[in-house]
Chain A
Amino acid sequence: MADYETHSVDVLVIGAGGAGLRAAVEAASIGASTAVVCKSLLGKAHTVMAEGGVAAALGNVWPEDNWKVHFRDTMRGGKMLNNWRMAQLHAQEAPDRVLELESWGALFDRTPDGRILQRDFGGHRYARLAHVGDRTGLEMLRTLQDRAVAAGIEVFMECKILRLLAAPSGAVCGALGLWRESGKFVVFSARAVVLASGGIGKIWKFTSNSWETTGDGHALALWAGADLVDMECVQFHPTGMVWPASARGLLVTEGVRGDGGVLKNAAGERFMFSYIPEYYAKETADTIDEADRWYDDKSFRRPPELLPRDEVARAINSEVKAGRGSPHGGVYLDIASRRSPEYIRRRLPSMYQQFKELADVDITTQMMEIGPTCHYMMGGVRVDAETGASTAPGLFATGEVAGGMHGANRLGGNSLSDLLVFGRRAGIGAAEHALAPGRRPESDPGAIDRETSSALGYFDRDSGESPYTVHAELQETMQSLVGIIRTQDELERAVELLGELDERARAIAVAGRRQFNSAWHLALDLESMLTVARATTLAAIARRESRGGHTRDDYPDPDPEHFGKVNLVVRRRRGETTVAEEPIVPMPAELAALLDVGP
């Protein structure tokens, strides 16, 4: 029998980023005993890395803005693959969620008349992002953290969840965890579990994501029998740092472009004018003169630098491939020649500091070297729009780990609003499920024994693979074969290599004690990473078209007749991962009519 402590709650939330904390606050407020478990310390979640802002049609800067325009922008940005009901709820509820956060203490930057200031971002027709300089995520996370602490919600820190626990009926009823500090096991028994574990960025080599984003929630859901959706849709943010090598991938906020920054190639040319797709031609400026007027007069068309992220990332990739890149394999992002040093330091203080300290570059006088970096997972657990319920009973998901809201490509700023809107909804959904009458489902203690023995197995071998080596090779494989531009041959090669890496991961040997053992932690995270890498690669093989964050060199165009009408669903049954096409439910006529609004 494994040795472990147990905790029993109504609602267990896995992840203490914005979505998890928002869900926990809501679940607790309606009377469910609620606990949050997180892999790092409270307050360190990846939400703090969000820079530019939270998208909500408050209409403070442009009164013309409203939820209908936001809905339209989101659906078009997602290349219509989105769960339209989620996109609708998101656009409708985001303003209230932002104002609510303000009433909880968040201090957003202000308009001259004292309301919340909003900034321009790619793909948003109006200046829509409420923000705090370029550290919006930190402001939001700290506000939610303080709210959760004040509500007395229990937070179990530095605990890695290994597996979800399920009753024989399949109902999820808790989770098995590992205290990273002591190396001991813990069992959480719960009536409902909310996954809020974030993304999967650490399976790529160049990523803006922190060490935690190893796809734990995606893998836990798959292992528990829940469906994943849109797993082929991965966002490569156009502007990550490219130099120094050790800082490669660090995010450079889209706010730089929203605030006037432009992209240039080695010849000094604003190359984005050569990459305006037909889909956005009607709303995109085709001369520098028109583009520059747009910042102050929205009757002009928007600059091509503010096309959605998928378009800009592909354009940069093409410029570099054509030999017009910067010395370190990126292109230039220039705000120095366009805005005053005072303006840049006030609007982008942390970018100023990041480049000054890490690259010796003064962004008020010099151009930044940037290139695409893996940033966000659109795909994730398939959920009910209203409640966040997954296809596994008792299991809910919210935030980046949930799929559907963003379709094939997420607009900047829509992630922070997503986590507020659907964090709250998942909190309600989970609490209502947990508080409904009925017996508490119980898992099989034998399963706990099997999983703890498996986790300890890494210590049994005297010699074997290093988890650091296996991780580095996984990242190389995904970067080179499942990156921004994909082909059938490379994707199939990736599947083969992933199979080999699965074998090698099973041969990992970990030395030393169980107490805060970094190699062991990585070995356990690799179980998640290899699972989601396979899910992503298989889905990428199945979608034989290009759409949003999924670009196939061998199928360069969208296929509106077939793939435009289906989502890809990944499932795991009897140890096999499969991909199935499922038709997209047509949206009601009144929503469809909104898509034609405006240019």
Chain B
Amino acid sequence: MMTPDLGAPGAPPTVTLAIWRGDAGGGGFHDYTVPANEGEVVLDVVHRIQAELAPDLAVRWNCKAGKCGSCSAEVNGRPRLMCMTRMSTLETAEPVTVSPMRAFPVIRDLVTDVSFNFAVARKIPPFAPRPPGPDGTYRMAQFDVDRAQEFHKCIECFLCQDVCHVIRDHEENKPRYAGPRFFVRVAALEMHPLDTLDRRELLREELGLGLCNVTKCCTEVCPEQIHVTDNAIIPLKERVVDAVYDPVAWLGRTILRRPRPTPAAVAAASSPAARTGEVIVTDPPPTGQAG
């Protein structure tokens, strides 16, 4: 719980953020202390710091409601949306650190160069639907759209990309790896009831799906609670294996006896209950993220 610095009797409580400031050439943490109000999120405090202490502080944000995915950063080393991280959930006896996403090159302060993501997006062949029915429209059952709808919740905050250890500290992997956000994107296309393309070869050859070793860090940080690993990446890996006979993967499946998801299991995984985290058990928080 929040433990505001009470200071002098009657003085309003304050809070201190240690914000990373700098650019591609380097930088460091600077402490900023401002008044704290009830119910605030980290982004509120960052805005007060801009208005009162550091007018030129660079930060991206848009909706301030967890719907656009702009204000991604690392709060006390954890990838978070600043607009959805309440100060009351943080230990504030020590300064709360706020740093830019580490997987992307810094432009200035909390703003990073996320152009990698837009480049990957252009590699993925777009939606290609089958022809509509005789009346010119499509019929799809809710049951059939549920799976892809889960992936359409993605707000492109890129926190899953930030936490993914394949690229977090391995710039050299970026040219051959798409990252969790784009596995979710391909899964949305592959599981779209109307789509006709087969992107399995692309996943294997160009998007580097095999590099993912399912540590579920991406699922942990997803602010939309998309089950990135269980519902997108693992089913895609299964499909790729089906497409390209791979004895190592086959052996792995046999030894680990990981059951193939049955249609019923897939349905359960995309039910509302599963989305609230009641069915899928996630791994403990990832390690090694301190910025």
Contacts and interface: CB of A to CB of B under 8 A. Distances in A.
Nearest to A116: B137
Closest 10 CB pairs of A and B: A244-B39, A114-B139, A519-B55, A512-B56, A105-B127, A150-B126, A468-B51, A516-B58, A110-B142, A210-B62
B77 to A, nearest CB: 20
B63 A48 contact: yes
Nearest to B68: A44
Interface in B94-147: 107-109, 111, 114, 118, 121-122, 126-127, 129, 132, 136-142, 145
A475 to B, nearest CB: 12
B138 A44 contact: no
A518 to B, nearest CB: 6
A142 B152 contact: yes
B153 A250 contact: no
Range, interface on chain B: 35 or more
A138 B154 CA distance: 9
Contact of A358 (B84, B152, B153): B84
A103 interface: yes
B60 A41 contact: yes
Interface in B38-76: 38-41, 44, 50-52, 55-70
A142 to B, nearest CB: 7
A516 B107 contact: yes
Given A246-B39, A519-B55, 16 more contacts: A44-B156, A99-B136, A105-B126, A107-B192, A110-B142, A110-B145, A113-B139, A247-B41, A345-B276, A510-B55, A511-B55, A515-B23, A515-B58, A515-B108, A518-B57, A518-B59
Contacts of B194: 105
Contacts of A114: 138-141
Interface in B181-240: 189, 192, 194-195
B156 A43 contact: yes
Given A467-B55, A468-B51, A511-B56, A138 B67 contact: yes
Interface stretch (A29-37, A346-354, A545-553, A583-591): A346-354
A107 B152 contact: yes
A115 interface: yes
A40 interface: yes
A48 B55 contact: no
Contacts of B64: 210, 250
A597 interface: no
Given A107-B148, A114-B141, A466-B55, A357 B86 contact: yes
B175 interface: no
A346 B39 contact: no
A104 interface: yes
B56 A107 contact: no
B33 interface: no
Contacts of A107: 140, 145, 148-149, 152, 192
Interface string A10-38: 00000000000000000000000000000
Nearest to A357: B84
A48 B50 CA distance: 26
A49 B70 CA distance: 13
A515 B122 CA distance: 27
14 contacts: A46-B62, A49-B63, A103-B129, A107-B140, A109-B145, A135-B153, A245-B38, A245-B39, A342-B272, A358-B84, A466-B51, A512-B55, A515-B108, A519-B55
A105 B192 contact: yes
Interface in A384-428: none
Nearest to A517: B56
Q: Name the prevailing secondary structure of the B interface residues.
A: loop
A513 interface: yes
Given A109-B142, A247-B39, A518-B55, A211 B65 contact: no
A211 B61 contact: yes
Interface of B: 23, 37-41, 44, 50-52, 55-70, 84, 86, 107-109, 111, 114, 118, 121-122, 126-127, 129, 132, 136-142, 145, 148-149, 152-156, 189, 192, 194-195, 272, 275-276
Contacts of A102: 137-138
Most buried by B among A44, A133, A520: A44
A349 B62 contact: no
Nearest to B185: A146
Contacts of B55: 466-468, 510-512, 518-519
A479 B108 CA distance: 34
A456 to B, nearest CB: 15
Interface string A107-126: 10110011100000000000
A359 interface: yes
A388 to B, nearest CB: 25
Contacts of A247: 39, 41, 65
A511 B149 CA distance: 46
Contacts of A345: 272, 276
A387 to B, nearest CB: 27
B136 to A, nearest CB: 8
B121 A149 contact: yes
A449 interface: no
A251 B65 contact: yes
A583 to B, nearest CB: 40
A110 B141 contact: yes
A563 interface: no
Interface string A123-147: 0000000001101001100100011
Contacts of B52: 468
Contacts of B149: 107, 132-133
A307 B68 CA distance: 29
A205 to B, nearest CB: 14
Nearest to A152: B122
Contacts of B61: 210-211
A471 to B, nearest CB: 9
Contacts of A181: 107, 111
A49 B65 contact: yes
A107 B37 CA distance: 40
A40 B145 CA distance: 30
A146 B126 contact: yes
A40 B51 contact: no
Nearest to B225: A353
Contacts of A147: 126
A358 B41 contact: yes
Contacts of A516: 58, 107-109, 111
Most buried by A among B62, B67, B140, B149: B67
Nearest to A346: B272
Interface string A172-212: 00000000010000000000000000000000000000111
Given A149-B122, A342-B272, A359-B39, A40 B60 contact: yes
A211 B62 contact: yes
Contacts of A245: 37-39
A254 B51 CA distance: 33
A132 B37 CA distance: 35
Contact of B118 (A42, A133, A515): A42
B261 to A, nearest CB: 21
Nearest to B125: A150
Nearest to A105: B127
Nearest to B149: A107
A478 B53 CA distance: 26
Contacts of A243: 39
